[in-house]
């Protein structure tokens, strides 16, 4: 029955009726082989009140929310998820079949895994061909030496589609990395927000319970440990699913780690945290089987953790999903699952693949020449797929060599669903990814699915939330939190953060401060030279020359070189060009562009610690990077100023957004340490570059004013010293005032305070190396007197210069000591293999 025939189209808004009246062959709403489509009624009844514009607004709202959440972002490969405002509706009847089918599949998988890594009845009885299975990389021989047979799949993701007869069919299984759960959760959060009324009207089944079960299942998986530490292992921002993994980790309250954060010692897995090594009990891994252990496994993987498999073998750590579960994704297994269901469960397989035929089968003969409508698969290689319509030549080539490794599978004929694209609803083919969990209480299926556009582009993916309607009223309780705090919560409180995270926070702090300083310097330069070009006053000339010199040799911006006077700097260097370089020179490490790029990168590494609000600011900064990169040559000073303004507001907003969460005990103080180190460095360098030359009184005050402006201290200085302003008062305020929040000494005192939060190995009350360095610097400042620093010999303030250089070097050492002591547990690993064979032919 066509939806448009059974409903009064005149009651529908135009944007909807237009779609429904279109000619769809096989659509979820309009028609799927006479199937019931009443489950869309409630949704459409609600939507009837919405105009085209309303839908458009919601679509934009979603775009914004998705961007804020960061789910749409990945570092290297942009994977743009586009969440559609309209959900996919699934009837209760359809859901019953899916639920039963997915449960059955997970149950079968666990029986199969048990057998393949155990008795191998399936091979001995000839159900699965040994030649096919043994040739596949996913057949994990390491699993045979496990003392415990526990290749037990906990989480399964399976892609389904609806065929033309209205049956759901299996497209693909995801078991090593059941990706998409975080994305689904994120979608639901957003969809519920944007479509809140519709959501409650449609009686949609809730998903929170599934996640609670998942969490319980994780905690139950480590029975030996009362206080299990769970980590989520990700490949990092290079993985297109990184944001999703970070989201899921944050939602469930587990520490997100990368392989360099973990180490194996004495057969156990440890997290390299700021407070030393902490034992890890369970790893939720988003990494393939073959990449887990770079020592034991033959394919050397930089993401591997040397020794992990033996720790697993010794039952000292659990893995979800377990090692070796990838074999279940192999076509040699999945193509036979129907037979296995018949044999072992004595029941028909509920969710089947489309029909398959072995390449060696006489029935496939015609397909060799004309494979249209089919796809060619390799039993041993789950990645292999050739399209019969577009790759017939390659198919013949493949079959010519080794045809017993291949089989044909009928191409899926996806149903379509309406997507809101720009101004109208457009039909796109869809598949749905369902999730199931096997725990002690049995198998549960997530009552929703990730609805994805099937086939086509990998870079732009349209997704939908899937709503399973239910006749039973849904519980209104949102998310039932467990009564006992999860161990992961405790882990956060306990300040166990990976050293790498600490290091990234430290750098994030430095880049934030560096970005801010660069903008201020940029503004100052622009300001001074525009003034100078209008009023070429000789008093100003000296100052502008010195400023430009300091900018040219990068003494007042990173990398904070030693100041050198540049002859005729105003003639040979066009100030506009210098500022443009500071803004956007790719080659200049300290340019604003490179600084904020590095900043975004650091932020990405601590993605799971950032709130949505903080992330929005990072996102703005990304936009600004793009704008800077797209600037045409010869852009005006006005444009430069506008960009500088935007960047600094984003930086300030970001600072504001993290101010609340910067509790001392979860590592955020590392960001503050970074920020203060950077600020100190910069204060020291600016003072030595701009204030060490004695100038005439007027010039001196002008120069001091410039420096004070760059340090946001002009007003304080004026207020405090009124008519007594001099170089001495300037130095006093900027360097020696222990109570003024922008002074050097204040930074050093504060650093000392922050460093006490770092774990210490000294228990006899003595200072650690980094605090000793701080003590030296603080002492230098405390003992110094401003008038003495201001004394000049031959116009040169030797004392000031000397003090500044000393502190500069001490700051560098301080940064190095921190790195060695707290961050660098991650020396590069080198793989060694002894080689056989340097013998001479022996006479035997």
Partner 1 sequence: MKYKVKHTTHYQYSEAVSLCQNQARLKPISNQRQTCLSHCIRTQPEADYLDYFIDYFGNQATVFEISTQHDELIVTAESEVEIFEFRERQLFLSEEAWESVALKIQLADTPELLSTIEFAQASEFTPVSADIHAYACQSFLPGRALISATKDLMARIFNDFQYESGFTTISTPLSEVFAHKKGVCQDFAHFALACLRSLGIPGRYVSGYIETLPPEGQEKLEGADATHAWFAVYVPDLGWVDFDPTNNVMPETQHITLAVGRDFADVTPLKGIVFGGGMHQLSVAVDMNRIEE
Binding site for partner 1 (CB under 8 A): 120, 123-124, 126, 130-131, 134-135, 141-142, 144-145, 147, 263-267, 294-296, 298, 306-307, 310, 313-314, 827-844
- Which CB sits closer to partner 1, 8 or 831? 831
Cβ 287 to partner 1 shortest distance, Å: 17
- Which CB sits closer to partner 1, 298 or 538? 298
Q: Which two tokens stand for residue 255?
A: 């520490």
Measure the CA–CA gap between 175 and 333, rounded to whole angstroms.
13
Q: Phi, psi (5° rounding) for residue 509?
A: -60, -45
Cβ neighbours of residue 682 under 8 Å, at least 6 residues apart? 513, 514, 517, 556, 560
DSSP one-letter code for 72? T
- Which CB sits closer to partner 1, 264 or 583? 264
Cβ 495 to partner 1 shortest distance, Å: 25
| Whether the Cβ atoms of residue 376 and residue 123 lie closer than 8 Å to each other | no
Place of tokens 């698969």: 377
- Which CB sits closer to partner 1, 126 or 473? 126
Q: Is 271 exposed, middle or buried (0-12, 13-18, 19+ CB in 10 A)?
A: buried
Cβ 410 to partner 1 shortest distance, Å: 28
Q: What one-character-per-residue DSSP string does 624-685 give?
A: HHHHHHTPPTT--HHHHHHHHHHHHHHHHHHHHHHHTT--GGGTTHHHHHHHHHHHHHHHHH
Spatial CA neighbour of 151 closest among 119, 180, 109, 121:
109
- Which CB sits closer to partner 1, 144 or 565? 144
- Which CB sits closer to partner 1, 401 or 633? 401
Cβ 123 to partner 1 shortest distance, Å: 6
**Rounded (10°) CA dihedral 281, 508, 814, 497:** -10
- Which CB sits closer to partner 1, 120 or 698? 120
Cβ 791 to partner 1 shortest distance, Å: 48
- Which CB sits closer to partner 1, 288 or 784? 288
| Whether the Cβ atoms of residue 705 and residue 721 lie closer than 8 Å to each other | no
- Which CB sits closer to partner 1, 10 or 839? 839
- Which CB sits closer to partner 1, 315 or 475? 315
- Which CB sits closer to partner 1, 126 or 224? 126
Q: Which two tokens stand for residue 651?
A: 């930086």
DSSP one-letter code for 20? H
| Whether the Cβ atoms of residue 414 and residue 429 lie closer than 8 Å to each other | yes
Cβ 829 to partner 1 shortest distance, Å: 5
Cβ 302 to partner 1 shortest distance, Å: 11
Cβ 69 to partner 1 shortest distance, Å: 37
Cβ 825 to partner 1 shortest distance, Å: 9
| Whether the Cβ atoms of residue 398 and residue 375 lie closer than 8 Å to each other | no
- Which CB sits closer to partner 1, 263 or 602? 263
- Which CB sits closer to partner 1, 64 or 134? 134
Spatial CA neighbour of 254 closest among 225, 280, 236, 229:
229
Instruction: Characterize the bridge pairing of strands 416-421 and 442-445.
Output: unpaired
- Which CB sits closer to partner 1, 216 or 310? 310
- Which CB sits closer to partner 1, 170 or 311? 311
| Whether the Cβ atoms of residue 461 and residue 444 lie closer than 8 Å to each other | no
Cβ 265 to partner 1 shortest distance, Å: 7
Cβ neighbours of residue 398 under 8 Å, at least 6 residues apart? 376, 378, 386, 406
Cβ 406 to partner 1 shortest distance, Å: 16
- Which CB sits closer to partner 1, 64 or 265? 265
Instruction: Characterize the bridge pairing of strands 282-285 and 318-320.
Output: parallel
Cβ 843 to partner 1 shortest distance, Å: 7
Cβ 27 to partner 1 shortest distance, Å: 46
Cβ 841 to partner 1 shortest distance, Å: 5
Residue 170: helix, strand or coil by DSSP? strand
Q: Which residues pair with 406 in a beta bridge?
A: 378
- Which CB sits closer to partner 1, 263 or 416? 263
Measure the CA–CA gap between 451 and 465, rounded to whole angstroms.
6
Measure the CA–CA gap between 330 and 481, rounded to whole angstroms.
38
Q: Mind spelling out the 3-state secondary structure of 210-238?
A: HHHHHHHHHHHCCCCCCCCCEEEECCCCC
| Whether the Cβ atoms of residue 464 and residue 420 lie closer than 8 Å to each other | no
Residue 13: helix, strand or coil by DSSP? coil
CA max distance for the chain = 103
Cβ 370 to partner 1 shortest distance, Å: 28
Q: Which two tokens stand for residue 707?
A: 């420096």
Measure the CA–CA gap between 772 and 363, rounded to whole angstroms.
81
Burial annotation 528-545 (CB, 10 A radius, 16+ → b, else e)? bbeebeeeeeeebebbbb
Task: Count CB neighbours of 657 within 10 A.
Answer: 18
Q: Which two tokens stand for residue 709?
A: 């402006």
Helical (H) or strand (E) element with 431: strand 424-439
Cβ 378 to partner 1 shortest distance, Å: 14
Cβ 25 to partner 1 shortest distance, Å: 44
């Amino acid at each position: 029955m066509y939806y448009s025939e059974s409903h009064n189209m005149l009651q529908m808004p135009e944007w909807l009726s237009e779609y429904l009246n279109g000619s769809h062959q096989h659509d979820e709403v309009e028609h799927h082989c006479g199937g019931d489509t009443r489950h869309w009624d409630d949704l459409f009844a609600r939507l009837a009140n919405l105009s085209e514009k309303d839908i458009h607004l919601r679509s934009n709202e979603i775009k914004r929310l998705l961007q804020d959440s960061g789910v749409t972002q990945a570092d290297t490969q942009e994977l743009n998820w586009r969440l559609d405002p309209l959900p996919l509706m699934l009837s209760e009847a359809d859901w019953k079949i899916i639920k039963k089918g997915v449960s059955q599949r997970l149950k079968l998988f666990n029986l199969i895994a048990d057998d393949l890594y155990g008795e191998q009845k399936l091979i001995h009885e000839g159900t699965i061909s040994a030649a096919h299975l043994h040739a596949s990389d996913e057949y994990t021989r390491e699993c045979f030496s496990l003392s415990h047979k526990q290749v037990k799949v906990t989480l399964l993701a399976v892609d389904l589609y609806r065929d033309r007869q209205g049956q759901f069919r299996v497209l693909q299984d995801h078991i090593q990395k059941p990706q998409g759960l975080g994305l689904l959760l994120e979608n639901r959060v957003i969809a519920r927000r944007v479509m809140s009324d519709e959501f409650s009207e449609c009686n949609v089944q809730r998903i929170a319970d599934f996640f609670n079960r998942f969490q319980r299942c994780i905690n139950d998986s480590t029975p030996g440990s009362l206080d299990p530490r769970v980590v989520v292992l990700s490949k990092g921002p290079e993985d297109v699913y990184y944001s999703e993994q970070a989201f899921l980790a944050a939602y469930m309250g587990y520490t997100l780690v990368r392989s360099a954060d973990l180490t194996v010692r004495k057969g156990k897995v440890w997290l390299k945290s700021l407070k030393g090594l902490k034992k890890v009990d369970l790893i939720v891994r988003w990494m393939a089987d073959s990449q887990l252990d770079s020592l034991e496994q033959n394919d050397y993987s930089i993401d591997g953790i040397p020794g992990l498999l033996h720790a697993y073998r010794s039952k000292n750590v659990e893995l979800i999903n377990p090692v070796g579960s990838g074999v279940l994704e192999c076509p040699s297994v999945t193509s036979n699952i129907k037979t296995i269901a018949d044999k072992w469960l004595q029941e028909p397989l509920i969710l089947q693949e489309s029909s398959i035929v072995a390449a060696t089968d006489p029935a496939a003969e015609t397909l060799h020449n004309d494979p249209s409508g089919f796809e060619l698969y390799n039993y041993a290689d789950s990645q292999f797929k050739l399209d019969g319509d577009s790759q017939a030549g390659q198919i013949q080539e493949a079959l010519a060599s080794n045809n017993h490794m291949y089989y044909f599978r009928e191409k899926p004929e996806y149903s379509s669903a309406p997507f809101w694209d720009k101004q109208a609803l457009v039909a796109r083919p869809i598949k749905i990814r369902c999730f199931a969990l096997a725990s002690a209480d049995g198998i549960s299926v997530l009552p929703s699915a990730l609805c994805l556009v099937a086939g086509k582009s990998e870079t732009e993916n349209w997704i939908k939330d899937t709503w399973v309607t239910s006749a039973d009223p849904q519980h209104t309780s949102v998310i039932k939190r467990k009564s006992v705090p999860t161990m992961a919560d405790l882990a956060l409180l306990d300040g166990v953060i990976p050293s790498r995270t600490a290091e990234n926070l430290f750098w994030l702090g430095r880049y934030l401060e560096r970005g801010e300083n660069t903008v201020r310097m940029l503004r100052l330069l622009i300001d001074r030279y525009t003034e100078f070009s209008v009023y070429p006053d000789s008093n100003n000339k000296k100052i502008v020359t010195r400023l430009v010199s300091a900018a040219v040799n990068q003494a007042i911006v990173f990398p904070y070189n030693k100041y050198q006077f540049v002859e005729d700097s105003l003639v040979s260097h066009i100030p506009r060009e210098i500022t443009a370089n500071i803004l956007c020179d790719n080659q200049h490490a300290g340019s604003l562009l490179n600084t904020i790029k590095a900043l975004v990168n650091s932020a990405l590494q601590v993605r799971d610690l950032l709130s949505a609000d903080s992330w929005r600011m990072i996102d703005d900064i990304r936009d600004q990077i793009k704008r800077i990169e797209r600037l045409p040559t010869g852009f005006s000073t006005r444009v430069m100023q506008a960009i500088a303004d935007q960047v600094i507001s984003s930086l300030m907003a970001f600072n504001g957004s993290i101010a609340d969460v910067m509790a001392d005990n979860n590592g955020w103080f590392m960001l503050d340490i970074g920020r203060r180190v950077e600020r100190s460095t910069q204060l020291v360098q600016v003072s030595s570059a701009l204030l060490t030359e004695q100038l005439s009184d007027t010039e001196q005050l002008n120069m001091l004013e410039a420096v004070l402006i760059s340090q946001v201290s002009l007003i304080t200085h004026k207020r405090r010293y009124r008519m007594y302003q001099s170089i001495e008062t300037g130095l006093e305020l900027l360097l020696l005032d222990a109570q003024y929040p922008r002074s050097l000494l204040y930074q050093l005192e504060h650093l000392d305070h922050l460093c006490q939060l770092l774990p210490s190995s000294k228990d006899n009350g003595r200072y650690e190396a980094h605090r000793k360095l701080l003590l030296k610097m603080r002492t230098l400042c405390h003992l110094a007197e401003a008038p003495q620093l201001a004394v000049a010999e031959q116009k040169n303030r030797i004392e000031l210069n000397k003090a500044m250089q000393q502190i500069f070097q001490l700051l560098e050492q301080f940064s190095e000591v921190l790195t060695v002591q707290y961050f660098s547990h991650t020396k590069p690993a080198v793989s060694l293999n002894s080689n056989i064979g340097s013998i001479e032919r022996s006479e035997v």
